[in-house]
Structure 1
Amino acid sequence: MRSVRARAALGATLVVAVALIGAGLAVLLVLRANLTDRAGLEAEVAAREVAGQLALGTAYGELETGDEEAHPVQVTDGEGRVVAVSKDLEAVSGTGTADVEPEPSAPAPGTGSDDDDDDDDASTPDRGEVSSDRPDFANGTATVDGETADYRFASVELTTDEDVTLTVHAGAPLAAEQEAVDSVRDSMLTGLPVVLLTVAGVTWLVTRRALRPVEGIRRELAAITASEDLGRRVPEPDSRDEVARLARTTNETLTVLEASVDRQRRFVADASHELRSPIASLRTQLEVGAAHPELLDVPGAVADTVRLQTLAADLLLLARLDAGERPGSAVVDLGALVREVVSRRTGDRIAPAVSVREEGGLDVTGSRGQLARVVGNLLDNAERHAVRSVAVSVRADRGGVAVEVTDDGAGVPPGERDRIFERFVRLDDARSRDDGGAGLGLAIARDVAARHGGTLTAGPAPEGGARFTLRLPRGAGAGPDRTG
C-alpha cells in the first residue's frame, strides 16, 4: 500500500474500529452487569419473601411462592436436602442441588413438641429469624412446566422457631438481560461497518485535500528534474500548515542549489579560462623552442610552469575546502607564524618595508599550513597594491586573536569589499594576469578562516589603503603541532 491517503484511511479506520469495539465491549459488560444485578435484586426479594413466611411458621406445603415461572423456589435444610419447592418446578441447576423432590427431614415450621401443655395456653411460639447478611448469587437454569430458561438465583438463610437452619433459593429470569444485551450487540454490529466506512471515506477525502499541494510539489520537482531548470519553483499554498512550510523550504533549497550550481559552473569556466592562458603561452614557447632552439625563453617557460603549479594548488585546496575538509588540531602561535611567513618573503618587491607588530603567546587551534597560506595570500594582495609599505599586526581581540594586514595603496571601494572575496574576482580588469593573479587568494583566505571558526573582512586603512582583518578564536589545549 504505497498511497499515503490509503494508509491514512486504513490507519484511521483501524483506530476507530479498535476504539468502537473496546467501547462496545465495555458497554455490553456494564449493561450485562447492571441487568444481572437487577435480576439478582429481584431474586433476593423473592427469596426473602419466602424466608419470611418460613420464619413466621408457615408450613412447607402452604408457602406462597408467587409466579412459579418468574420466580422458581427451592428450599433446602442444613444438610442440603430439599424440603420444599415451588409448584411445577421440574429441574434446577445453580442452587447447590439439582433435586426437586421434597424430603421433609427437618421439622416443619410451627410443629414444635407438645411438652409443657400447661404453658401452651399461656405463651406464643417463638418466631424464626431471617439472616440479614448479603445473600449468595449464582446463575443457573430451571425447568418450570416444561419450559427451561436461565435464572439468577439468590440464596437466603433463615432459622425457624424450632432452631432449624434453612436456605431459600429463589430465581429471577435472565431472559430480559439476554434480550437487551443481544439487541445492543446486534445494533453495534450493524452500525459498526457503517461508521467505519464513513470514517474511511472522510479520512480519504480530507487526506486527499490536504495532500493535494504535496502532489503539486512532487509534479513540479519531477518537471525540474526532467528539464534540469533550477530556476523553476514549486507552488506554495496559501495555508500556514506543514505543507506550506515544506513548499517554502523546498524553494529555498532550490534557490541555494541553483546558486551552488551557478557558482560551480562559473568556477569551472573561470578555472578553464585561467588555465588556458599559461598553458597556451607555455605551448607557444615550447613550439618556438622546438623550431628555433636559440629563441627558447626558458625563464618565461619556467614562470608559466610555476604559475600553472600555483593555480593547480589553489584549485586543489578550494576543492578540499568545498568537500568539507576539517582543519587540523594543532596549537599554532600566530605571532611566530606571521614572523616566519614574512621572513621568507625577502625577494618581494617591498619585502623590506613590511613591518610586523605582534604580541606573544597568542595561540590558535588549526592547520599551520592553511593558516600560513592565509597570511601569505593577504601579504601577496597587500604588496600587489601597496605603494611603499605594508604593515602586519597580531593582537588579542575580544577573547580571540586578530591579524591585520594594511597597505598604503588605493584601497578597496566600499561596494566591492565583499565581492573581492569571490573566486576569480579581480577589481582591476585592465591589470595583466601576471600582476593581478587568478583572483583566488582572497577567496581561499576567507574559506580557510571560516573553516577555522573565524572571519576575514576588508576595510579602510588609516594610511588610506586597505586593511584586511583576520579574526580567529583562541586555541584551547590541543595535540602536537601538525602542518596541513
Structure 2
Amino acid sequence: MPLRPGRLSVQARLILMTALLSLASLTGVAVAADLIVREKVESEVYQSTQRAASDWIAAMDTSTPQPVTTAEVNLLQLVDATGRVVAASRDAAGRPPISTLWPGSDDRIKHGRECANGECVMFTAFRPSPQEEEGLWGGASHVVYAGRVEPPVLAGWNLELGLAGAVLVASALVTGLAALLIRRTLRPVEVMRDLIAEITVTDLGLRVPVPRGRDAIATLARTVNRTLARLEEAVRQQGYYSSMVSHELRTPLTGLRTRLEEALIYPGVDRGQTISDALGSVDRLQVIIDEMLLLTRVRTSSPQQAERVDLGALVRDEVERLSPAYRPRVSVDDAPRVWGNRVQLGEVLTNLLVNAERHARSAIEVSVERADGEAVLTVWDDGDGIAPDQREQVFQPFIRLAAGRERDPGGSGLGLAISRAIAQAHQGNLAIEETPRGTCFVLRLPLAGEHEPG
C-alpha cells in the first residue's frame, strides 16, 4: 500500500518534511562544494604545470637543458613541429607526445586533459615566443608540455561519492535531532489529547496543563481551557434549564391532565369549561416553550439581520405601540445609534416597559443618552423597588419575586432573562442600578460608530 502523507501523524509528517528538506538543502550544498573543489584543484594543477613549463623555457639557451621536475609536475616534454619529442623528463621519456594540442602564436598557453590506457594526464601546452623560437631553433615552432597524472579527487566519481555519503550522514543526524526536538515540542499536545480523552459530560472540571511562554502550544492550551470552561458552564446551564423547564412545565401539564380526566370520569363536569381551561393551560405551555426557545437562540448565536438602530426612534415607537396605563415620560439625548437586531432590541424595551408598568405607582420614565462611548437606555418606575441582594436573581430564568407573582400570576419568569441575554449578544449589558426610589433598569450598548459589526 503506498504511503500517503494524510495517513501519517503530525509528528511523523514533520519528521518526514525535515528529512526531505535537510536532504534537499544538503544536496544543494554538496553540489556547490563539488563544483568549488573541482575548480580549485584544477586551477592549482594548471598553475603548477604552467609554472613548470615557463621555468623550463626560461632556462633554455642555445642548448636544451634537462627539465627540472617537482613532486607535483613530473611529466615534461619538448616537442617540435613534426611531433617528435626533442627532450623529456625521466618519467616522460619514451612516451609519445603528451598531446597533439598546438597553441597558436597569438594564444601561446593552452590547458587540457588527455586520457589513454586508463590514465588521465592534466597538462599545460606552452609555446615559446617567436623571439625565443628564433633564437633557440632558428624560428622553428616548438611546444613545451608540462603535466601530471590527474589527482584522485578529480578522477572518476570519488569526490561525488564522498560528498553523497557526507550528505546522507549529515541528513540523518539533522533528522534525528529534529525528531527529538519535535517529540519534545509536541509532548504537551499529547498530554492535552490524553486529558481531553478522559473528560466526560459528567466530569468537565479537568483542565490541560499550560506550558510556560506564549508560543503556539501555550496559546492552544489556554484556548482549550477556555473552551472547556465554556463547555462546563454550558452543560451546567443546560442542566439548570432542564430542571427548571421540567418544573415549570410539570405544573400546567398536571393541571391540564387533571381537568381532562375529570371531564372523562365525571359526566356532570362542564366539558366546555374544561376545554376552555385546557386551552388556557396550553397557551401557558406555548408561552413558556416559545420564550425558552428564544432564550436559547439568543444565548447561542449572534444577532441576526444586524442594522443601525436609532434607540430614540425605537423607544418612541414601542411606547406608542404599548400605550401603557402610566404614560412614560420619554427623554432622548442626541439619538444614539447602535448596531443590532431591531426586533430583539424592541423585545428588551417591551419587557422593561411591561415590568415597569406592573410595578409603578404613578410614573414611568424612559431616557436615551450617550455616556462614555456607549448608548444608555434607562427605564425607571416609582414602585417599591428591588432589594440589592435580589437584583441579580431577577435575571435568572423562572425566578419571580413575590411582588411579581402577585401582580402577574401567569408570567413565566423569563422576560428579564431574555432581555439580559439579548443585551449580552449585542456586546452590552442590562443591570439594575441604584436609585433613591423605585427600580431603574439600565441597558448599555456600544455605539454604532465605535463598534462596527464583523
Q: TM-score when scaled to structure 1? A: 0.73
**Letter of the structure 2 residue corresponding to residue 149 of structure 1:** C
- Quick one: which of 141, 147, 155 aligns to 2:126? 155
Offset, 1:165: 7.3
**Letter of the structure 2 residue corresponding to residue 70 of structure 1:** N
SS of residue paired to 1:352:
coil
Query: What is the aligned partner in structure 1 of residue 348 from structure 2?
Result: 374
**Letter of the structure 2 residue corresponding to residue 314 of structure 1:** E
- Quick one: which of 24, 29, 32 aligns to 1:26? 32
Q: CA, structure 1 residues 289+342, in 2 after alignment: closer, same or farther (shift >3 Å)?
A: farther
Supply the RMSD in Å over aligned alpha carbons: 3.9
Q: How does 1:287-306 map to 2 (within 5 A)?
A: 287-288=261-262, 291=266, 292-293=269-270, 296=273, 301=278, 303-306=280-283
Report the Cα distance in structure 1 between the residues aligned to 2:329 and 2:256, rounded to whole angstroms.
Answer: 37
Q: Does 1:468 align with 2:438?
A: no
Report the Cα distance in structure 2 between the residues aligned to 1:267 and 1:438, rounded to whole angstroms.
Answer: 13
Q: CA, structure 1 residues 237+445, in 2 after alignment: closer, same or farther (shift >3 Å)?
A: same
Report if the CA contact (8 A) 1:47-1:156 is conserved.
no
Query: What is the aligned partner in structure 1 of residue 198 from structure 2?
Result: 223
Offset, 1:397: 4.2
- Quick one: which of 291, 295, 315 aligns to 1:338? 315
Q: CA, structure 1 residues 282+242, in 2 after alignment: closer, same or farther (shift >3 Å)?
A: same
Q: How does 1:19-58 map to 2 (within 5 A)?
A: 19-52=25-58, 56-58=61-63
Query: What is the aligned partner in structure 1 of residue 289 from structure 2?
Result: 312
Q: TM-score when scaled to structure 2? A: 0.77
Between 8-17 and 270-279, the greater mean CA deviation after superposition: 8-17
SS of residue paired to 1:161:
helix
Query: What is the aligned partner in structure 2 of residue 173 from structure 1?
Result: 148
Report if the CA contact (8 A) 2:77-2:97 is conserved.
no
Query: What is the aligned partner in structure 2 of residue 82 from structure 1?
Result: 83
Between 324-333 and 368-377, the greater mean CA deviation after superposition: 324-333
In structure 1, stretches of 5+ residues that fail to align are: 98-129, 477-484
Q: CA, structure 1 residues 164+321, in 2 after alignment: closer, same or farther (shift >3 Å)?
A: farther
Report the Cα distance in structure 2 between the residues aligned to 1:453 and 1:307, rounded to whole angstroms.
Answer: 31
Q: How does 1:376-415 map to 2 (within 5 A)?
A: 376-397=350-371, 401-415=375-389
Q: Does 1:135 align with 2:139?
A: no
Offset, 1:179: 6.7
Offset, 1:209: 3.5
Report if the CA contact (8 A) 1:95-1:153 is conserved.
no
Report the Cα distance in structure 2 between the residues aligned to 1:209 and 1:400, rounded to whole angstroms.
Answer: 48
Q: How does 1:252-263 map to 2 (within 5 A)?
A: 252-263=226-237
Query: What is the aligned partner in structure 1 of residue 4 from structure 2?
Result: none
Deviations 1:139-186 (A, max 9, x none): 22478xxx9432232434411336847462423214335379976656
SS of residue paired to 2:66:
coil
Q: CA, structure 1 residues 427+234, in 2 after alignment: closer, same or farther (shift >3 Å)?
A: farther
**Letter of the structure 2 residue corresponding to residue 82 of structure 1:** G
SS of residue paired to 2:400:
coil
Report the Cα distance in structure 1 between the residues aligned to 2:358 and 2:34, rounded to whole angstroms.
Answer: 93
Q: Does 1:14 align with 2:20?
A: yes
SS of residue paired to 1:468:
strand
Query: What is the aligned partner in structure 1 of residue 3 from structure 2?
Result: none
Report if the CA contact (8 A) 2:299-2:422 is conserved.
no
Report the Cα distance in structure 1 between the residues aligned to 2:190 and 2:370, rounded to whole angstroms.
Answer: 56
Report the Cα distance in structure 2 between the residues aligned to 1:281 and 1:249, rounded to whole angstroms.
Answer: 48
Query: What is the aligned partner in structure 1 of residue 452 from structure 2?
Result: none
Q: CA, structure 1 residues 429+339, in 2 after alignment: closer, same or farther (shift >3 Å)?
A: closer
Report the Cα distance in structure 2 between the residues aligned to 1:4 and 1:305, rounded to whole angstroms.
Answer: 56
Query: What is the aligned partner in structure 2 of residue 64 from structure 1?
Result: 66
**Letter of the structure 1 residue corresponding to residue 189 of structure 2:** V
**Letter of the structure 1 residue corresponding to residue 123 of structure 2:** R
Report if the CA contact (8 A) 1:224-1:230 is conserved.
yes
Report the Cα distance in structure 2 between the residues aligned to 1:298 and 1:360, rounded to whole angstroms.
Answer: 53
Report the Cα distance in structure 2 between the residues aligned to 1:430 and 1:329, rounded to whole angstroms.
Answer: 33
SS of residue paired to 1:89:
coil
Report the Cα distance in structure 1 between the residues aligned to 2:260 and 2:280, rounded to whole angstroms.
Answer: 13
SS of residue paired to 2:134:
coil
Report the Cα distance in structure 2 between the residues aligned to 1:415 and 1:165, rounded to whole angstroms.
Answer: 124
Between 233-242 and 214-223, the greater mean CA deviation after superposition: 233-242
Query: What is the aligned partner in structure 1 of residue 305 from structure 2?
Result: 328
Offset, 1:293: 0.6
Report if the CA contact (8 A) 1:44-1:156 is conserved.
no
Deviations 1:171-220 (A, max 9, x none): 32143353799766565455555444444444333433333332222122
Larger Rg: 1
Deviations 1:272-319 (A, max 9, x none): 322222333344344445641179367755554443333233123223
Offset, 1:48: 1.8
Query: What is the aligned partner in structure 2 of residue 127 from structure 1?
Result: none
Q: CA, structure 1 residues 457+300, in 2 after alignment: closer, same or farther (shift >3 Å)?
A: same
SS of residue paired to 1:404:
strand
**Letter of the structure 1 residue corresponding to residue 394 of structure 2:** I
SS of residue paired to 2:423:
helix
Q: CA, structure 1 residues 289+408, in 2 after alignment: closer, same or farther (shift >3 Å)?
A: farther
Q: How does 1:198-217 map to 2 (within 5 A)?
A: 198-217=173-192
Report the Cα distance in structure 1 between the residues aligned to 2:197 and 2:232, rounded to whole angstroms.
Answer: 16
Q: CA, structure 1 residues 389+135, in 2 after alignment: closer, same or farther (shift >3 Å)?
A: same
Report the Cα distance in structure 2 between the residues aligned to 1:214 and 1:158, rounded to whole angstroms.
Answer: 78
Report if the CA contact (8 A) 2:108-2:126 is conserved.
no
Offset, 1:380: 2.3
**Letter of the structure 1 residue corresponding to residue 178 of structure 2:** T
In structure 2, stretches of 5+ residues that fail to align are: 1-6, 450-454
Offset, 1:337: 3.3
